[in-house]
Structure 1
Amino acid sequence: MQLNDPLLTRRNFLKGSATIGTVGIMGGIPMLSSCTSQKKGKEKGEELQLPALLDQAPDGKVLKAGLIGCGGRGTGAAVDFLNAGPNLQITALGDVFQDKMDACREILKKQKNVEIPDENCFIGFDSYEKVIDSGVDVVLLCTPPHFRPAHVEAAVNARKHIFMEKPIAVDPTGVRKVLASMKRAESMRLNVISGTIRRSQKDYMETRRRVLNGEIGEITGAHIIRNGGALWFRSRRPEWSDMEYMLRNWVNFCWLSGDHIAEQFIHEIDVMNWYLDEYPVKATGWGGRQRRVTGDQYDFFSIEYLYESGMRTHCAARQIDGCSNGKVEQINCTQGYADAAGKLYDLKGNMIWEYPHPAENDMQSEWYVTNPFVQEHINLVTAIRTGSTINDGEDQANSTLVAIMGRIAAYTGKDVTREEIMNSDLYLGPKTYSMGKIEGIPETIPLAGIPHKE
């Protein structure tokens, strides 16, 4: 079915489990899967244990990585990959803009003394194919999310290990393509890690372990909030075509980013999904726009998700300067509630446990939290070098789908079911790419409902 969805700096360390698609061994340490295996363990009456996290990937043969998408986020991912362990190289770069490529090369040279030869720097919409074919072992997929499904598919077909930034798609068509690619990746024992870092962050992992072990009873719902300032934007320049303007201003166009409910708020939605280990059957939502000056997206969303059991969760996000900011990742239980970043409370609001963060420079402490943006690459490289298989792609596809459900519910003002989304043929963006005019994607803000008449 076709739903009525109108056009539908590397991240800072977000202070608050390695997501393992199949149970494997990392550095001789048993690693639990993100949801399924842990839930099965609990059903058997087994207490969940926190898997050990290495602070550096083990040594091994040289692993070559190619970066696709050389903006701030991609450049940061390249540096994080190089920081994950020994004998790691960035050997190829791909982007559509020469200035982004040049800036990335400069940072890699300055920060890591890495020089990428001209013959391994590829410009154009087909640059991802050239990077994949350049002899790399790993690809880092960091373009605007619209392009992720096609890039993931190409990387899997070429049997490359993958780091893919979040979200993994902007529409149901893209989500289904990634899900199919993940099945193929699993059958080929390829390793896939995505950029929603909480599952690789020790304080979040330990908090979740305690909740699933029943320390505050059974989960009954969740209250998830992320309120922050507006993201950057680019005003259109006379010399820019439609395509160049939209690409340089990508975080403000739904077809490129999925709107901020998918592009940024997916971190918090993924935490909720990680705890609940189930997905909503319906979304009811609203949102709007008051302050954005470019693009076609909303400033704020508020979504209620309904689950098959009758449980409900609430998720809300806002990007407006000059407002009260804050983040809430509250998991409600029968005997208390959790702050997923590292605290447990009883029903009266008394804190009964807090993650024992060590002193900032005490890296030897068992409770030290490695920068999760590096930790996810450590987990990826460790799996490759130890013959394990990790793959959180299906989890990320489902978290992306939950975000898309909320976005469409808010854009249209109508309840949206998971079944509708899973079967929707909605596709956002042009079918072919060139630096010219884009037909059929006006810079128009979605309006829910119909006009009120006298």
Structure 2
Amino acid sequence: MGAASILSACSSEKSKKEEIQLPELLDQAPDGKVLKAGLIGCGGRGTGAAINFLDAGPNLQITALGDVFQDRIDSCREKLKTEKGVEIADENCFLGFDSYEKVIDSGVDLVLLCTPPHFRPAHVEAAVNARKHIFMEKPIAVDPVGARSVMASAKKAEAIGLSMVSGTVRRVQKDYMETQRRVANGEIGEITGANIIRNGGALWYRNRQPEWSDMEYMIRNWVNFCWLSGDHITEQFIHEIDVMNWHVDKIPVKAIGWGGRQRRVTGDQYDFFSIEYVYDNGMRTHCAARQINGCTNQKVQQINGTNGYADAAGIIYDLEGNEIWKYPHPEEDDTNSKWKVTNPFVQEHINLVASIRAGKPISDAEAQINSTLITIMGRISAYTGKDVSWEEMLNSDLYLGPKTYVLGPVPEIKEEIPVAGAPAPGSL
């Protein structure tokens, strides 16, 4: 059950409000008939997701792989064989931009969508049309057009009884869940704002090789191109912004963004952002992220309230900064404790498999779609230097990337850095 669903069940009158309880979290998915999954996107995260799926319970198989590059398929096959003893037949390994269609049609029950996020909307739509259950990595789009496409697909999936689980792992991580439960039950009073920071070093990058076309270079270097990743505010910082959205349980009406680039060496993105989100009740939240080496690294997920504040990872403080509750993490060898936190990258697959085998579809798609759009709203504001409203997000026809995919020239996309106050590829 999503946070919005949980919170909507609460009475607005505090005296009548029932205390919210955590949903049951299984350590392993229940046994059942074999479920076959196809992996679309065989890079590091995709290969990791395939292993996480296999670790989620009994009678689970990875039976098909799809990617644009043969070396990605080869490395994924080798890792699955070495780490899990799983061998993927040659005839179930599909190469090319249409490989997702072949994976979907290969007899699988569900798909793991782990390509660069630009491709997610089309892959989600195809999987839903084929009536396949879905695990979709975050984010689900890089632009408003893509986000609205996934929303339409999610509504169709719900109508036909498909499960859709997202890669926003904190919402299935028990220490984060217990903290959110306590905040939702009023332990810090009414929420008044939030301070969210993710500062770290530079991400990986690929220098262009002489034999690579424009398209191959950009896809191999995808985390550095906005049309493929959505920029790091959308591709990575979405985790922390999603935690904020989960606690605040409101959509901001406006984003006021700043950002720029000092050290990133390839691509067309920023390497730091600072976004203020404004809400209809006057509340404001602040979100900042940086990917620059040699600077102070920190992660802050502070939710502020009238009676105190929370570190969303598992601590609650009073207004004077005194710790009043901390998540009771058990000792590492205490595997029976009710407070044990299952690896959330596995937990999301446990939840997905359990829902399929129980015949009780689940979906967290709407929460991830909203979080994706909120990050995009902040990115566009920072790129353009202009305030951007939620209404503009809902109505924008902004689409990033080419309309057709060929491993060749892509003259319409330039490796140029956005300049605030000037027209940019990410403008509305």
Question: TM-score when scaled to structure 1?
Answer: 0.92
**Matching residue of 2:239:** 267
Aligned with 1:142 (options 99, 108, 114): 114
Amino acid at match of 2:5: T
List alignment gaps of at least 5 residues for structure 1.
Answer: 1-19, 21-32
**Are 1:384 and 2:353 matched, yes or no?**
no
**Matching residue of 1:12:** none
Q: 1:40 offset after TM fit, Å? A: 2.1
Conservation of the 8 A alpha-carbon contact between 1:42 and 1:212: no
Q: Deviations over 1:119-162 (max 9, x none)?
A: 00000000000000000001000000000000000000000000
Aligned mates of 1:54, 1:139 — CA distance in 2: 21
Aligned mates of 1:209, 1:110 — CA distance in 2: 40
Q: Deviations over 1:61-111 (max 9, x none)?
A: 000000000000000000000000000000000000000000000000000
Question: Among the aligned pairs, what percent are the same residue?
Answer: 76
1:297-312 equivalence runs, <5 A: 297-312=269-284
1:182-193 equivalence runs, <5 A: 182-193=154-165
**Are 1:366 and 2:335 matched, yes or no?**
no
Q: 1:441 offset after TM fit, Å? A: 0.5
Q: 1:50 offset after TM fit, Å? A: 1.3
Conservation of the 8 A alpha-carbon contact between 1:265 and 1:317: yes
**Matching residue of 1:37:** 6
Q: Deviations over 1:218-253 (max 9, x none)?
A: 111111000001100000000000000000000000
**Matching residue of 1:115:** 87
Aligned with 2:167 (options 178, 195, 211): 195
Amino acid at match of 2:79: I
Conservation of the 8 A alpha-carbon contact between 2:134 and 2:165: yes
Aligned mates of 1:76, 1:265 — CA distance in 2: 19
**Matching residue of 1:415:** 387
Aligned mates of 1:161, 1:266 — CA distance in 2: 23
Q: 1:361 offset after TM fit, Å? A: 2.2
Conservation of the 8 A alpha-carbon contact between 1:222 and 1:330: yes
> Residue 293 of structure 2 aligns to a residue in which SS?
coil
The size of the alignment, in residue pairs, is 420
Aligned mates of 1:38, 1:449 — CA distance in 2: 40
Amino acid at match of 2:317: Y
Conservation of the 8 A alpha-carbon contact between 2:6 and 2:20: no
Q: 1:439 offset after TM fit, Å? A: 1.9
Aligned mates of 1:395, 1:52 — CA distance in 2: 20
Amino acid at match of 2:255: A
**Are 1:181 and 2:150 matched, yes or no?**
no
Aligned mates of 2:255, 2:83 — CA distance in 1: 44
Q: Deviations over 1:170-215 (max 9, x none)?
A: 0000000000000001101100001010000000000011111111
Q: 1:450 offset after TM fit, Å? A: 5.0
Conservation of the 8 A alpha-carbon contact between 2:203 and 2:291: yes
Amino acid at match of 1:105: R
Aligned mates of 1:235, 1:379 — CA distance in 2: 39
**RMSD of aligned alpha carbons:** 1.0
Aligned mates of 2:163, 2:282 — CA distance in 1: 36
> Residue 35 of structure 1 aligns to a residue in which SS?
helix
Aligned mates of 1:279, 1:439 — CA distance in 2: 37
Aligned mates of 1:174, 1:347 — CA distance in 2: 41
> Residue 351 of structure 2 aligns to a residue in which SS?
helix
Aligned with 2:189 (options 217, 222, 230): 217
Conservation of the 8 A alpha-carbon contact between 2:3 and 2:249: no
**Are 1:75 and 2:47 matched, yes or no?**
yes
> Residue 370 of structure 1 aligns to a residue in which SS?
coil
Aligned with 1:295 (options 267, 283, 290): 267
Aligned mates of 2:404, 2:322 — CA distance in 1: 56
Amino acid at match of 1:65: A
List alignment gaps of at least 5 residues for structure 2.
Answer: 424-428
Conservation of the 8 A alpha-carbon contact between 2:118 and 2:141: yes
Aligned mates of 2:191, 2:11 — CA distance in 1: 13
